[in-house]
Amino acid sequence: MNREICREALRTAGLLRPPWLAQAFDTVDREAFVPQTVWLPVADEEGRWSFVDREADPDAWLRAVWNPHQSVVTQLNDGHTPPGPNTGDFTSSVSALDIVMRKLTALQLDPQHTVLEIGTGSGYHTALLSERVGAQRVTTVEVDETLATTAAVTLTSQGYEPTMITGDGLFGAPEHAPFDRVISTAAVRRIPHAWVEQTHDTGKILTPFGTAYSNTGLLGLTVDGHQAQGRFIGSSAYMWVRSDRPTVELRVPEKPTRRRSPIDPAQVLSGGYLQDFAIGLQVPDVSYSHRGTARDRRVQFVDEAGTSATIVRYEDWWEKDAVTSWGPRDLWAEVTDAFGWYESQNRPHITRFGISVDSHQYAWLDDPGKPVGNR
């Protein structure tokens, strides 16, 4: 795998249609922005992420860099994990080229636009933006000081000197606003009002978007005064903006209630990422995780406030004690209600959903006048 093979794959998939994007792909040296040691999102037999060292295996490193469909992970656990085969959460990466090109095409970027980028990472995405509008029109924000420092050195070495800020991207960059375009390289659950306020009227915001239940959407918004709204233009899976990560500290009562489940959990939880995303829009503060063995499989739901939790058994879901709930909410009831609504709407595709942001944020189906979930 090399640049030429990758380029042909992207071109054949229709991902280099804008001439400027094809030129930027040819001009920016992706290899310069990828560290010498990286992880890949592929686990070995011991459950550790695959590790690639350029010095030890240069061919494997090049294949990773130019694989158009796979990200290259540059950091685990916020930088607390040293290089080498290991486990942990991905906290920074050089994104897969196919989704990068889809996002940049969807941004509808003109040469005169000013751009705010949330999440500098390695700086590769920043360089692509700079090729379109000039680095002087790009402001990029990175929360991680080490990543920001490394990206600044790399960008300068490659001839790019955008405005760089180390800080929380959810606050934007008010001293450099307003912007024509805001693009995030990390997922959020709530659109920061700062992004809306710092974007010109008719300007666009493009960001990965998810809920505690499912992190899957790619959202495009158009700004109108102090408001913004738009549809999901497709799916994407990105790491969370650090300050918007779902976190839960359970504080549930000791005494639970028990009942039977009205439906096989597999029917609700094995429908794929698009189904999960639609359910998540209705229960955005609920997350779930699986527990137990294949013969004693269970799923646990918790709410973001940490006041409610529910565990559902798979094997005998029809028994009167298959669902155990703590706290004021029956989270399985909320999830199954959301699933039933999704089915009743003939399983709408993600592109039929949208988000409106004014004094608050809400999701809708087909039209802003048709909200879904709790508005």
For the chain, how many structural domains are there in total?
2
For all residues of the chain together, what is the average pLDDT?
95
Residue 237 tokens, joined: 């899976």
**Do 118 and 202 share a domain, yes or no?**
yes
The least confident of 10-14, 97-101, 290-294, 358-362 is 290-294
Residue 90 lies in a domain: yes
Residue 251 lies in a domain: no
Q: Which pLDDT belongs to residue 124?
A: 98
**Do 83 and 167 share a domain, yes or no?**
yes
**Do 203 and 340 share a domain, yes or no?**
no
Angle, helices 124-133/145-157, rounded to nearest 10 degrees:
50
**Do 196 and 308 share a domain, yes or no?**
no
Q: How many helices (H) and strands (E) does the chain have?
A: 10, 19
**Do 222 and 332 share a domain, yes or no?**
no
For 228-247, letters b (16+ CB in 10 Å) and e give: bbbbbbbbbbbbbbbebebe
DSSP state for residue 202 in the 8-state scheme: E
Amino acid in the structure at residue 222:
T
Residue 212 lies in a domain: yes
**Do 227 and 143 share a domain, yes or no?**
yes
Q: What is the mean pLDDT of residues 44-54?
A: 91
94 half-sphere exposure, CB direction, 13 A CA radius: 27
Query: Contact, 322 vs 312, CB < 8 A?
Result: yes
Residue 61 tokens, joined: 């490193």
Q: Distance between CA 369 and CA 358 in Å, rounded?
A: 14
Residue 158 tokens, joined: 């490659």
Q: Is 175 in a helix, a strand, or coil?
A: helix
Q: What is the mean pLDDT of residues 288-310?
A: 92
Residue 179 has pLDDT above 90, yes or no: yes
Q: Domain range for residue 53?
A: 3-235
Beta strands in 115-187 (DSSP E): 115-118, 138-142, 163-166, 179-184
Residue 374 has pLDDT above 80, yes or no: no
Give the model's confidence band at 86: pLDDT under 50 very low, under 70 low, under 90 confident, else very high: very high
Residue 67 lies in a domain: yes
Q: Which residues pair with 354 in a beta bridge?
A: 231, 364
Residue 357 lies in a domain: no
Q: List pLDDT tens digits, range 207-255.
A: 999 999 999 999 999 999 899 999 999 999 899 999 988 888 888 888 9
Q: Which pLDDT belongs to residue 254?
A: 85
CA distances (Å), origin 154, targets 44, 159, 242, 290:
31, 9, 23, 41
Q: What is the mean pLDDT of residues 321-339?
A: 97
Write down the catalytic residue from 71, 92, 93, 95. 95
**Do 288 and 175 share a domain, yes or no?**
no
**Do 214 and 291 share a domain, yes or no?**
no
The CATH number for 37's domain is: 3.40.50.150
Strands 138-142 and 115-118: parallel
**Do 218 and 338 share a domain, yes or no?**
no
Residue 370 has pLDDT above 90, yes or no: yes
Beta strands in the chain (DSSP E): 37-43, 49-53, 72-76, 90-94, 115-118, 138-142, 163-166, 179-184, 199-210, 215-224, 227-235, 257-259, 286-291, 298-303, 309-313, 323-326, 353-357, 361-365, 371-372
Active site residue 92: no
Residue 116 has pLDDT above 70, yes or no: yes
Question: For the chain, what percent of residues have pLDDT higher than 90?
Answer: 92
Residue 234 tokens, joined: 């497709």
Q: Which pLDDT belongs to residue 105?
A: 97
**Do 14 and 108 share a domain, yes or no?**
yes
Q: What is the mean pLDDT of residues 82-90?
A: 93
Residue 117 lies in a domain: yes
CA distances (Å), origin 37, targets 6, 137, 143, 298:
21, 31, 21, 37
Residue 105 lies in a domain: yes
Residue 321 lies in a domain: yes
Q: List pLDDT tens digits, range 120-174.
A: 999 999 999 999 999 999 999 999 999 999 999 999 999 999 999 999 999 999 9
Residue 375 has pLDDT above 60, yes or no: no
**Do 174 and 47 share a domain, yes or no?**
yes
**Do 89 and 200 share a domain, yes or no?**
yes
